[in-house]
Amino acid sequence: MFAYIVKRLLAGIVVMLLVSLSIFLLFWYGPSEPARAICDTKTSQRCTPAKLEVFTEELGYNNAWYTEFPEYVGGIFTGRDITIASQTTRCDAPCLGLSYKNGKPVWDEMKGRLPATFSVAIGGAFLYLLLGVPLGVAAARRRGTVADKSLVSSFLVLSSVPYYLFALLTFLYFSVLFEAPFIGNPGYVPFTESPSGWVGGLALAWICLGIFGCTQYTRYSRGAMVEALSEDYVRTAKAKGLPQREVVYKHALRAALVPVVTIFGIDFGTLLAGTIFTEKIFDIDGIGLWALLAVGQKDLPIVQATALFAAVALILSNLLVDLLYSVLDPRVRLS
Amino acid sequence: MSDPFLVVEDLTVKFPTEDGLVNAVTDLSYTVEQGKTLGIVGESGSGKSVSSMAVLGLHDMRTARITGSIKVGGQEVVGLGESKLRKLRGKEVAMIFQDALAALHPFYKVGSQLAEAYLVHHPKASKREARRKAIEMLDRVGIPQPDRRVDDFPHQFSGGMRQRAMIAMGLINDPKLLIADEPTTALDVTVQAQILDLLQDLQREFNSAVIIITHDLGVIAEMADDILVMYGGRGVEKGPAKEVLTRPQMPYTWGLLSSVPDVHGDTASKLVPIPGNPPSLLDPPTGCAFHPRCAHVDKVPGNKCVTELPPLTAGPTGAGHLNRCHLADPVGVFENEVLPVIAPELLEES
């Protein structure tokens, strides 16, 4: 078991290195002049080719990528000094560079935005699993009945609505038209500041993610459960004389959770990487919204940092899934 | 003679499907006494598994249409409520399934699956007692180092050991009837023999009634006291094992026996397969379900095989051996044919 975890962790680290290298190279060889944004800022929109060249040299864009990448990675672990416009700033570990817009370390701002994104993602995922899995199990047990068919088809209709439209309509109805109390004024309030404000501000985002995600999770878990219920070992459990709820929730559900957990690993990673629509519509200052802004402002270090964060989130949530697997399925644990 | 422990009468099982109503079992009757073994033989889809699953009420009650009567120790099972069925399952009647790898839960330890079977019918027992019982049963079925192997997962067992564990689980509550559905099909021959020996030993020890479902006539010859041959969801021949195997009265049984390689007698004799395919259960043939594949249809006057379903009645050798055939002399028809010797020991006795 321990060896398994170590193996997964090492593999995860290798993947992270490769991903960060690809992201680095993507921007290094990208079609933009990365120093242009900072040159414009520092010269109050009077960036001449000569000045641009100075910034390009300063930022190291004239060097080879294989000297700059180790420095970038090194900065993440040990921090480094970065010079912009002849002004050297200490960027502490984990250093993801300085924002070209305000010259502050990227990590400092990211740190501030992470709780918002985590709050949205965890709350949304919790809600859609809480709704989706039991609904899927219930539908599988009543497979072929009117209740099952109407649930499946109404969820199919719901999930074919584009998410941004669904979120916008939710916002429109609850915030603008109904001016719903408590949840009608979305936005992020740190939990430590006001727990009720935190819940109230995020509730609409959670409901949106939860309802939309649960349509998919109902489908996944229904399918997995239908399959599990037809397994021989479920029949064995029934033939032993076990009560129906034990047959369903102990023997069948545990097997059905494996494929659901797999999909959840990918979904949750994506959710953590930033739910741009959700953050934008419900006015939550998270990673997704930040990435969107940075792209508009050509603030390369932030774009790079958010891309890296997305990769790390995906890898970590897959690692989490691998560990969950080994809890669910002993064959994984021991092989 | 005591009352039979299991009495099945006119059992009919139908499943509605999108293609129509599947007549899985039709008017099936048989009995099994305590300490005796009934072998049910037939091709895939002949209704042998479906009928025995009905004994435990394992079919989906919302869809399966079950009529007739199944009495287990005097208690009617058809139409019995789920909670009463549960008390029967695993306690009075236990079932051993074909593929033990699929039939054991891959995520739970063998021991805990056995203990669970014990605990569900002994709610007052502690987990510790259940575990001790599981080890005892594993030991009883010949698993080496049972106190260690009890914590293994099914995939850590060999095929034979898994089937032994399955048997241990079936017998953990000392059931009065054990239904073994193709218990040796997934195993290689040497292991098959061990498992069959084990089943026989345990049957003697526990004095339980056993139903063994198989398409392997060798297994039947070794295990069964009585044989029920099924075809197209109906019983087509029924009688003492020796009688049925040596003097079959139904052309289908003949066909089954002739398609077994004869390793005891004339090794040069060719296998004779039964021509054609098993009948459709959605749209069964008229008359005798076997008539499209039967070589003796023209020996029956008036085209009766095609138009009229023959009843299951006593054949020429007496009341104990029944057949479902229109032939006036179902034994004489085969007089000039050689039957492979499936179980020489049966012949020697007679």
Q: Do A225 and A155 sit in the same domain of this protein?
A: yes
ipTM entry? 0.87
Range 202-231 of A in CB contact (< 8 A) with B: 231
Q: Would you call B88 and A232 a contact, using CB atoms and an 8 Å cutoff?
A: no
**In chain B, what percentage of residues exceed pLDDT 70?**
93
Q: Among residues B174, B274, B238, B285, which one has the least CA distance to residue B8?
A: B238
Closest CA to A202 of A219, A182, A216: A182
Identify the pLDDT of residue B340: 66
Domain boundary residue, one of A77, A106, A135: A106
Q: What is the structure's pLDDT at A52?
A: 86
Q: Are residues A136 and A28 in the same domain?
A: no
Regarding whether A120 and A98 lie in a shared domain, the answer is no
Tell me: do A70 and A125 sit in the same domain.
no
pLDDT tens, A164-181?
999 999 999 988 888 888
Q: What is the spatial distance between Cα A238 and Cα B86, in angstroms, rounded to a whole number?
A: 8
Closest approach of A330 to chain B, Cα-based (Å): 6
Tokens of A7: 């193996």
The Cα-based distances of B332 to B248, B296, B299, B336 in angstroms read: 11, 12, 12, 8
Q: Do A241 and B153 touch (CB under 8 A)?
A: no
Is the pLDDT at B191 greater than 80? The verdict is yes
Could you tell me if A329 lies within 8 Å of chain B, comparing CB atoms?
A: yes
The domain of A303 spans: 112-334
Asked if B284 contacts B231 with a C-beta cutoff of 8 angstroms, the reply is no
Q: Residue B263: what pLDDT? A: 65
- Same domain? For A268 and A127 the reply is yes
Give A 286-325 residues with CB within 8 A of chain B.
none
Q: What pLDDT was estimated at residue A245?
A: 92
Q: Which of A226-230, A309-313, A331-335, B162-166 has the lowest mean pLDDT?
A: A331-335
Q: Is the dihedral of CA B187, B188, B189, B194 positive or negative?
A: negative
Q: How many CA atoms lie within 13 A of A18 on its CB side?
A: 7
Please determine, for residue A190, whether its predicted confidence score (pLDDT) is greater than 80.
yes
Tell me if A331 and B88 make a contact (CB, 8 A cut-off).
no
**CB distance B310 to B324 below 8 Å:** yes
B123 to chain A: nearest residue by CA?
A: A242
Nearest to B56 among A237, A239, A329 (CB): A239
Does the pLDDT value for residue A92 go beyond 90? no
- pLDDT reported for residue B265: 62
Please tell me the distance from the alpha carbon of residue B339 to that of residue B324, in angstroms, as a whole number.
20
> Could you tell me if A30 lies within 8 Å of chain B, comparing CB atoms?
no
More confident residue, B166 or A63: B166
Nearest CB to A255 within list B90, B95, B107: B107
| Interface subset of A 262-291, CB within 8 angstroms of B | none
pLDDT at B346 > cutoff 60: no
Minimal-distance CA residue of chain A relative to B96: A236
Query: Please, what are the domains in chain B?
Result: 6-224 (3.40.50.300), 249-349 (no CATH)
Q: Which residue has better confidence, A251 or B317?
A: A251
Distance from CA of A158 to the nearest CA of B (A): 28
Considering the domain architecture, whether residues A166 and A84 belong to the same structural domain is answered as no
Residue A235, chain B, CB below 8 Å: the answer is yes
Give the least confident one: A120-129, B118-127, B310-319. Answer: B310-319
The two beta strands, B226-231 and B209-214, are unpaired
Using one digit for the tens of pLDDT, what is the confidence trace for B206-226? 889 999 999 888 889 889 999
Query: In chain A, how many domains are there?
Result: 2
- What pLDDT, in 10s, does the model give residues A125-165? 999 999 999 999 999 999 888 999 999 999 999 989 998 99
**Looking at the DSSP assignment, which residues form a beta bridge with residue B30?**
B8
Of B262, B250, B211, B243, give the one whose Cα is nearest residue B317. B243
pLDDT for position A154? 94
- From A90, A106, A122, the end of a domain falls on A106
Please check the confidence at residue A334 and state whether its pLDDT lies above 70. no
Please give the DSSP secondary-structure letter assigned to residue B287.
S
| CB contacts, 8 Å: B97 with chain A | 232, 235-236, 239
Cβ within 8 Å, pair B90-A251: no
Q: Give B22-47 pLDDT, tens digit per residue.
A: 999 999 999 999 999 999 998 888 99
Extract long-range pairs of B19-22: CB within 8 Å, 24+ residues apart: B19/B282, B20/B282, B20/B283, B21/B282, B22/B281, B22/B282
**Quick one: A58 and A143 in the same domain?**
no
pLDDT of residue A335: 54
SS3 (DSSP) at A241: coil
Residue count (chain B): 350
> Domain check: are A71 and A131 in the same one?
no
Question: Rounded to a whole number, what is the distance in Å from the CA of B345 to chain A's nearest CA?
Answer: 35
For B78, the token pair is: 């058809």
Residue B331 has pLDDT above 90, yes or no: no
Same domain, A14 and A73: yes
Q: Are residues A139 and A255 in the same domain?
A: yes
Give the pLDDT confidence score for residue A87 in this predicted structure. 82
Residue of B nearest to A242 (CA): B120
Intra-chain end-to-end CA distance of chain A, in Å = 9
> Long-range pairs for A85-88 at CB < 8 Å and ≥24 separation?
A85/A38, A85/A42, A85/A55, A85/A58, A86/A58
Q: Contact B153/A331, CB-based, under 8 Å?
A: yes
Question: Are the beta carbons of A240 and B90 separated by less than 8 Å?
Answer: yes
Query: How far apart, in whole angstroms, are the C-alpha atoms of residue B108 and residue B100?
Result: 14
Residues in chain A: 335
Q: Kindly report the average pLDDT of chain B as a whole number.
A: 88
Q: Report chain A's mean pLDDT, rounded to a whole number.
A: 88
- Name every chain A residue with its beta carbon within 8 A of the beta carbon of B153: 330-331, 334
Q: Cβ of A146 under 8 Å from any chain B Cβ? A: no
φ, ψ for residue B22, nearest 5 deg: -90, 120
Q: How far is CA B151 from the centre of its chain?
A: 31
Q: Which of A106, A128, A161 represents a domain boundary (last residue)?
A: A106
Query: A102-106, A295-299, B104-108, B336-340: which has the highest mean pLDDT?
Result: B104-108
Q: Given an 8 Å threshold on Cβ–Cβ distance, is A240 in contact with B153?
A: no
pLDDT tens, residue by residue, B256-276: 888 777 666 666 667 778 888
Query: Does residue B124 register a pLDDT over 80?
Result: yes
d(CA B235, nearest CA chain A) in Å: 25
Residue A67 sits in the same domain as residue A118: no
Task: For residue A165, give the CATH number of its domain.
Answer: 1.10.3720.10
**Whether the Cβ atoms of residue A44 and residue A52 lie closer than 8 Å to each other:** no
With 80 as the cut, is the pLDDT of residue B125 above it? yes
Q: How far apart are CA A42 and CA A99, in angstroms?
A: 12
Query: What is the residue type of B64?
Result: A
- Contact check, Cβ <8 Å, B89/A236: no
Q: Is A241 close to B88, i.e. CB distance below 8 A?
A: yes
d(CA B98, CA A283): 59
Q: Between β-strands B226-231 and B234-240, what pairing exists: parallel, antiparallel or unpaired?
A: antiparallel
- The set of residues, in sequence order, having a beta carbon less than 8 Å from that of B33 and lying 6+ positions away, is B1, B2, B4, B5, B209
Minimum-distance CB partner of A240 among B82, B89, B109:
B89
With cut-offs at 50, 70 and 90, classify the pLDDT of residue B350.
very low
**Which residue in the block uniquely carries the two structure tokens 């709050």?**
A119
| String of DSSP letters for B313-328 | EEETTEEEEEE----S
* Distance of residue B211 Cα from the nearest chain A Cα, in angstroms: 15
Amino acid letter at B22? V
Note whether B86 contacts A243, CB cutoff 8 Å: yes
Residues A86-96, buried b or exposed e (16+ Cβ, 10 A)? eeeeebeebbb
Closest Cα in chain A, distance from residue B286 (Å) = 32
Residues A78 and A153 in one domain: no
Cβ–Cβ below 8 Å for B102 and A232: yes
Q: What is the pLDDT of residue B53?
A: 93
**Strand order of the sheet with strand B6-17?**
B20-32, B6-17, B65-72, B75-76
Closest chain A CA to residue B156: A331
Q: Which of A141, A149, A233, A333 to mutate to test the interface with B (most CBs of B within 10 A)?
A: A233
